[in-house]
Structure 1
Amino acid sequence: MATPQTDDRDKVVTKLPPQLRRELKIRAATVGVDIQDAVTDGIKAWQTAVKPLPAIDVSGAQSFSTYVPSALLADFRADCSELKLAYNQGLAQSIRLWLDSHPLPQRVRRATGARRVAIGNQKGGVGKTALTAGLAQALAEMGFRVLMVDFDPQGHLTKQLGHDHLPLKGDSLVKHMTGERSGELAELVLPIGGEPFEDRLHLLPACTDGFLLDAKLATYREIRIKETALEKALDPLADDFDFILVDCPPSLGYAMDNALYYVRTREDEEAGSGLIIPVQAEDSSADAYVLLREQIDALCNDLGVDICDLGFVVNLYDNRKGHVLTSSLDSWRSLGEPEVIAVINDLKDQREAVRTKTPLLVWAPDSEQADAMRDIARRITA
């Protein structure tokens, strides 16, 4: 977020511990402040603070740079020298002062309830589950309470986060949708651990009875009931969360209709709900999108609803594979609406996180893929 050097700013080059650097980056983005301004304010606070300040553990420090006003930087260096304090320790203390004075904002519950986001594409292997998990983690890291709903009976999201499917003979989301429940849906929700999330990230696991959902919904005679079952099942949880993310099944059936209807823009609703479509830079993804678009348009026309397109995420991108991929990416961008809100490169970090059943933002918090998830989170919360 640092800007190029200007006449009245000098470049600060130092080293910071990864956790502090990461916390600064996330907090600055969350509260809407440029990193260079956050560091500037932190140095000013450090200069007026009562010394000595608590020492910051700077072991394992990594390169960090930004820009601060020239005169302020000169005075800061002189102050550190006078106190016989290492320059990077003084800067770390300054950043900690800024972080402590800018806590994560308290979330005000929306009158229209949780924002609802479906991550959907009937084509398999485009990264729906990875995007659902990574986006949810980024939102929780920003201070939001987030629920991930594994709506795919294959249960990849559940497995990737280290949990088992719900027992087939027990309670499940599908049973709540079809009037066969035996308890409260909240009893099925599991916390997902990780220091960045505290108690803000949760999962509603999958159950293999989801394979029967379309057949069961098809027996309902009233059209509107077929599409509202998911909403009715999840509504009791809406007040407990800021975001509810639905990892959709790779299908065009009633389950997908339910997910689309669930994220429609409701009357008098504040912005924020809608559909994110993960795709790949290839022709088969484009063909699949045509079918999905037809389903979305048909649902909107038949039921008189509006579904917000939050954008495409081009996943598993590798420009080394040549013209086919680069030209396909250009095609996605040329659509204009929905817009491409992120391009996520095909890197090993996500695969390693899945293999170890560890959230991406815990396994590789400074990775390019983790930063991409944070960028998407900032876009949909702006």
Structure 2
Amino acid sequence: MLPSDDQKDRQKVTFKLPASLKANLKIRAAELRVDIQDAVADAMSEWKTAPHGEVPQVDTAGAPPFATWLTEASISQFKSECSDRGVPYVQGLAQAVTLWLSAHPSPRHQPLERATRRLIVCNQKGGVGKTAVTAGLGGAFAEDTELARLAGGAFPGDAELARVAALLVGKDSETGAPAALEADHEYEAPQLRVLLVDYDPQGHLTKQLGVKQLPANGPSLAKFMSRQVTGDIHDLIVPVDDERFGGRLDLLPSCQDAFLLDVMISAARNRQARLEHALEPLEAHYDVIIIDCPPSLGMAMDAAIYYGRERDGEREGQSGILIVVQAEDSSADAYSMLVEQIDDGMLDWRITTTYLGLVVNLYDARDGHVVTSSLNEWYALGEPRVIGVIPRRKEQREAARARRPLLAYDPSCAQSRVMRQIVKEIS
């Protein structure tokens, strides 16, 4: 396509712009599918019409260079307006971009018409793979339907996992899984807007997705929960950038100050509701919020249990607890302790919390009788029922090493397909 006369007349000009504004401008322009130069030109034009007293000052200390392409007329008009207002060019541009971002909100933060699902992924035993399941389910909820179908859909193809999938959908395990389970090409990915919350101070989810933990001296989820900071918790959100998720997958990163969360909220009234109060401003913008819980039975876990309760008007199973276990005896012991805490919380707070199911992670029948018999015991439990069995394979470890979501790293692998199967089971 030939450039317009306006584009032909543009020349390169260098200003300064705070790094955070530059990053947000780049993301927002991409989300709205506008050229970043057009966004800057519009920002300058809109800024000129804004009343002087209503334009807030922006901290521009240490702002790095920012180059863009503008027409000579727009540059001249902008500089003239900066002189009239008595502000440096760097301040004028920072104000203009700030106003433009405010006037052109992210499509990811548009209010929803339905209630947000809240999924609590937990087990007080560490090392069972809660983080891997959280990230995998988030990707499966947000994934593009057509790309999911091309990857083979929801059911794994290897014989042992196909047998397990057959159990989950009520087929006869003696005759093996029917061919339809080998590749569910009719699978419909939900394509929902998803927020992953790294509630664990160790920050494994944050690190696995290639994001830095929040600094201990700045705002964080723990500080919002303890009301030590004010402001907009949206500012902490980081998008998980991969075309597979179409801008629908976000992360609230962890911060090491969460190690002190129990102390920070111990004196708060209704401390079990602290997580809900902190995340409530985000709920209108996401279809699903998934909490990656720490391996703990403290007050932080109480707050997560309360957050996942059944609210008035919700259908049963819309929100609730998803417990990740392994096919081993120690996992059964930890499960019993967690269930006791959940049941005590329901009694104390007079709430109903739904057990969405068990996910048996890192399963490999080649490990022998202990593993296969443990899996059978999880099935025999009945309620909560087993809703997924994730194989012990290399792809999840490789994805974590590559700092990428599993479904983006290898969407066709058995682990990815079981993640889709779990989403299908609880949708």
Q: Return the TM-score normalized by structure 2.
A: 0.62
Which position in structure 1 is the counterpart of 2:133?
A: 131
- 1:31-62 CA distances to partner (integer Å, 9 max, x unpaired)? xxxxxxxxxxxxxxxxxxxxxxxxxxxxxxxx
Match of 2:390 among 344, 359, 363: 344
Match of 1:280 among 323, 326, 344: 326
Counterparts of 1:247-262 in structure 2, within 5 Å, are: 247-262=292-307
Deviation at 1:270, TM superposition (A): 2.7
Does the alignment pair 1:246 with 2:246?
A: no
Deviation at 1:352, TM superposition (A): 0.2
- 1:319-348 CA distances to partner (integer Å, 9 max, x unpaired)? 101010011001111000000001111000
Which position in structure 1 is the counterpart of 2:248?
A: 200
Which position in structure 1 is the counterpart of 2:349?
A: 303
Deviation at 1:108, TM superposition (A): 10
Match of 1:116 among 111, 115, 118: 118
Match of 2:417 among 368, 371, 382: 371
Worse-superposed segment, 133-142 or 264-273: 264-273
Structure 1: runs of 5 or more not aligned: 1-106
Equivalent position amino acid for 1:203 in 2: L
Equivalent position amino acid for 1:298 in 2: D
| Percent identical | 52
Does the alignment pair 1:317 with 2:319?
A: no
Equivalent position amino acid for 2:280 in 1: D
Deviation at 1:181, TM superposition (A): 1.4
- 1:232-282 CA distances to partner (integer Å, 9 max, x unpaired)? 000000010000000000000000000010010001113410011000000
Equivalent position amino acid for 1:162 in 2: G
- SS of match in other structure, 1:196: helix
**Alpha-carbon distance in 2 for matches of 1:317, 1:379:** 19
Deviation at 1:218, TM superposition (A): 1.7
**Alpha-carbon distance in 2 for matches of 1:196, 1:247:** 22
Match of 2:215 among 158, 164, 167: 167
Larger radius of gyration: 2
Which position in structure 1 is the counterpart of 2:33?
A: none
Which position in structure 2 is the counterpart of 1:335?
A: 381
**Alpha-carbon distance in 2 for matches of 1:258, 1:108:** 25
**Alpha-carbon distance in 2 for matches of 1:214, 1:262:** 16
**Alpha-carbon distance in 1 for matches of 2:310, 2:261:** 24
Structure 1 pair 330–110 and aligned structure 2 pair: CA distance change class (3 A): farther
Which position in structure 2 is the counterpart of 1:48?
A: none
**Alpha-carbon distance in 2 for matches of 1:377, 1:194:** 20
Deviation at 1:183, TM superposition (A): 2.3
- SS of match in other structure, 1:240: coil
- SS of match in other structure, 1:148: strand
Match of 1:219 among 254, 260, 267: 267
Structure 1 pair 181–108 and aligned structure 2 pair: CA distance change class (3 A): closer
Does the alignment pair 1:184 with 2:232?
A: yes
**Alpha-carbon distance in 1 for matches of 2:111, 2:239:** 22
**Alpha-carbon distance in 1 for matches of 2:365, 2:424:** 25
**Alpha-carbon distance in 2 for matches of 1:376, 1:288:** 22
- SS of match in other structure, 1:305: coil
**Alpha-carbon distance in 2 for matches of 1:108, 1:153:** 29
**Alpha-carbon distance in 1 for matches of 2:120, 2:245:** 21
**Alpha-carbon distance in 1 for matches of 2:421, 2:290:** 16
Which position in structure 2 is the counterpart of 1:209?
A: 257
Deviation at 1:109, TM superposition (A): 3.8
**Alpha-carbon distance in 2 for matches of 1:109, 1:118:** 21
**Alpha-carbon distance in 2 for matches of 1:339, 1:266:** 22
**Alpha-carbon distance in 2 for matches of 1:280, 1:378:** 21
Q: How many residues align?
A: 271
- 1:89-117 CA distances to partner (integer Å, 9 max, x unpaired)? xxxxxxxxxxxxxxxxxx99454x21000
Does the alignment pair 1:294 with 2:340?
A: yes
**Alpha-carbon distance in 1 for matches of 2:392, 2:411:** 16
Deviation at 1:219, TM superposition (A): 2.2
- SS of match in other structure, 1:311: strand
Structure 1 pair 127–326 and aligned structure 2 pair: CA distance change class (3 A): same
Counterparts of 1:75-86 in structure 2, within 5 Å, are: none
- SS of match in other structure, 2:284: helix
**Alpha-carbon distance in 2 for matches of 1:310, 1:108:** 26
Deviation at 1:362, TM superposition (A): 1.0
Match of 2:278 among 233, 248, 261: 233
